[in-house]
């Protein structure tokens, strides 16, 4: 039986667009009190306007460890706990492949996609331990499972490391009641596609995964009974536009 999420406190990063936005809306619909974090305030306000329940906006750059800890402390100060963490903040870059990727761009991807997720996990664990459990959902990628030209070395490295980090989190924290999932989607029609070196057509975007699909999966993960951990979930569009 799926859990009732009414009243649970859910912190979502990357909540202004895409997967984070949809996850926040779906968790709010399920009865969660949601905290929306992202680098830009205007998109967060747009998402908050779509939520009828308890919603708080906490602008945040997840690559800043001090800011991550400060936001977590404010959430706990207001709500007393964090039950669900959905860590969806992520970027990629246009000049991403070996011949062109710069040191600054490499560092930006690693600092946001990997370090940011680690900082957020680290920030919520004390509250979850104290309260006897919690759910962490690290939004990873099929780039963590396969190697190809499309995503570039920085994104591949960050997402492979995220999955390893998530697995370590399960091993060390499961007996504290803390569950963690690495959610690994294939192509999703989100704004990150705008950073592709080759644009994805509107027709193709309509045939791949949609943000709402991932929002439903995020809600499903959070609703699992406390004795169930979904270590990794792989999800792909049925139509594979790379097949020849």
- 97's enclosing H/E stretch is none
pLDDT per position as a tens digit, 56-97: 999 999 999 999 999 999 999 999 999 999 999 999 999 999
Looking at residue 242, its pLDDT comes to 67
Of 15, 50, 19, which is closest to residue 214 (Cα–Cα)?
19
Looking at the chain, the number of H-run helices and the number of E-run strands are: 8, 9
Q: What average pLDDT does this structure show over 41-70?
A: 98
Domain assignment present for residue 3? The answer is: no
Domain harbouring 77, CATH code? 3.40.50.720
Number of structural domains (the chain) is 1
pLDDT band at 197 (very low <50, low <70, confident <90, very high): confident
The answer to whether the beta carbons of residues 42 and 62 sit under 8 Å apart is no
Domain assignment present for residue 243? The answer is: no
Domain assignment present for residue 241? The answer is: no
C-alpha to C-alpha distance for 163 and 157, rounded to whole angstroms: 10
The answer to whether the beta carbons of residues 79 and 56 sit under 8 Å apart is no
Domain assignment present for residue 242? The answer is: no
Comparing 135 with 192, which gets the higher pLDDT? 135
pLDDT band at 218 (very low <50, low <70, confident <90, very high): very high
Q: Count of CB atoms within 10 A of residue 69's CB?
A: 14
Domain assignment present for residue 61? The answer is: yes
Q: What is the DSSP string of 17-86?
A: SHHHHHHHHHHHHTT-EEEEE-S-HHHHHHHHTT--S-EEE----TT-HHHHHHHHHHHHHHHS---EEE
C-alpha to C-alpha distance for 211 and 190, rounded to whole angstroms: 7
Residue positions counted in the chain? 244
Domain assignment present for residue 2? The answer is: no
Q: What average pLDDT does this structure show over 157-165?
A: 98
Only one residue has tokens 């509107």, namely 202
Q: State which residues form the domain around 144.
A: 9-235
Give catalytic residues, as residue numbers. Answer: 140, 155, 159
pLDDT per position as a tens digit, 18-33: 999 999 999 999 999 9
C-alpha to C-alpha distance for 179 and 134, rounded to whole angstroms: 6
Domain assignment present for residue 63? The answer is: yes
Q: Look at residue 115 and tell me whether its pLDDT is greater than 60.
A: yes
């Amino acid at each position: 039986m799926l859990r009732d999420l009414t009243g649970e406190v859910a912190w979502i990063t990357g909540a202004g667009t895409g997967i984070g936005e949809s996850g926040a809306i779906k968790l709010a619909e399920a009865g969660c009190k949601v905290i929306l974090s992202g680098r830009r305030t205007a998109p967060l306000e747009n998402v908050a306007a779509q939520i009828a329940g308890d919603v708080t906006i906490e602008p945040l750059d997840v690559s800043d460890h001090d800011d991550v800890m400060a936001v977590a402390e404010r959430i706990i100060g207001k709500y007393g706990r964090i039950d669900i963490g959905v860590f969806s903040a992520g970027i990629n870059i246009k000049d991403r492949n070996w011949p062109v990727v710069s040191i600054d761009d490499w560092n930006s991807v690693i600092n946001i996609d990997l370090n940011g997720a680690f900082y957020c996990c680290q920030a919520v664990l004390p509250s979850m331990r104290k309260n006897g459990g919690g759910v962490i959902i690290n939004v990873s990628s099929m780039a963590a499972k396969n190697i190809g030209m499309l995503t570039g070395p920085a994104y591949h490295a960050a997402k492979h490391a995220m999955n390893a980090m998530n697995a370590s989190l399960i091993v060390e924290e499961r007996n504290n009641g803390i569950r963690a999932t690495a959610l690994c989607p294939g192509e999703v029609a989100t704004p990150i596609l705008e950073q592709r070196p080759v644009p994805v057509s509107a027709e193709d975007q309509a045939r791949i995964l949609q943000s709402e699909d991932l929002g439903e999966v995020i809600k499903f993960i959070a609703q699992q009974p406390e004795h169930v951990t979904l270590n990794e979930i792989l999800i792909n569009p049925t139509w594979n536009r790379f097949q020849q």
